Amino acid sequence: MSTGIFITLEGGDGVGKTTQAELLSSWLEQRGFEVVRTREPGGTDLGASIRGLLLHGGHVTQRAEALLYAADRAQHIDQVVRPALERGAAVVQDRFIDSSLAYQGAGRALALDEVRGINEWATERLWPELTVLLDLDPTVAAKRRAEAGMTDDRLEREAIEFHERVREEFRALAAAEPGRFLVLDAAARVEDLHEAIIARVAPLVTEL
């Protein structure tokens, strides 16, 4: 039975997930929590190898891509996330199942129920208490990445139409589960976004 708290951050690359995850992690640590700051793909040794194949390797078919993300997730949950939650830690994670639904489901046009099914099987139906969705126009996110000198990976190099489908699916997921999601305009000031996240997180951690 989990005794910690599991928080994920979602959205396209360049929306500020890393910045907000770091700010949230610091806030939690200041309140005495052990914080496990992690990401998908790549949060384990196996995951790092899978990440290289997925984002910087050669051609990967759509179904293979979905299965590789699920394999990374299964290892990550078993090796990192569940042990942390069981000892009462706060897990702050960049990406989770929602990313597979958005990128492989909507982006790649795979069946959403099948993508959800393999990932719920991989994670034994573990879902976060809170998912923060940082929503931003894909063209603005691409400009941010370019200005920051970020090297685009295989997914980021997809056409703008792909990223628009991804964004719309993230928004649809959030609309379907308003109790789990906090949707924020990623164009807002970093400080304002952080305050909005803390306002949602604070009541959750006081219950632990």
- Domains annotated for the chain, with CATH where assigned, are 5-206 (3.40.50.300)
Amino acid of residue 39:
R
pLDDT tens figures, 42-51: 999 999 999 9
DSSP letter at 15?
Answer: S
Q: Identify the pLDDT of residue 102.
A: 97
Q: Check: CB of residue 193 under 8 Å from CB of residue 122.
A: no
Q: In this model, does residue 70 exceed pLDDT 90?
A: yes
Q: How far apart are CA 182 and CA 196, in angstroms?
A: 9
Confidence grade of residue 16 (pLDDT, cut at 50, 70, 90): very high
Residues 6+ apart with CB under 8 A from 131: 7, 8, 9, 10, 96, 98, 174, 180, 181, 182
Q: How far apart are CA 56 and CA 62, in angstroms?
A: 15
Tokens at 190, concatenated? 């970093």
Q: In this model, does residue 1 exceed pLDDT 60?
A: no
Q: Identify the pLDDT of residue 156.
A: 80
Q: Where are the alpha helices (DSSP H) in the chain?
A: 17-30, 45-56, 62-76, 82-86, 97-100, 112-123, 138-147, 160-176, 190-206
Q: What is the pTM of this model?
A: 0.94
Secondary structure of residue 113 in the 3-state scheme: helix
Confidence grade of residue 151 (pLDDT, cut at 50, 70, 90): low
The closest of 10, 126, 113 to 105, measured between CA atoms, is 113
132 beta partners: 9, 182
- Tell me the average pLDDT across 160-168: 95
- Tell me the average pLDDT across 181-191: 98
Supply the mean pLDDT for the chain. Answer: 94
Burial status of residue 121 (CB atoms within 10 A of its CB: 0-12, 13-18, 19 or more): exposed
Residues 6+ apart with CB under 8 A from 138: 12, 160, 163, 164, 166, 167
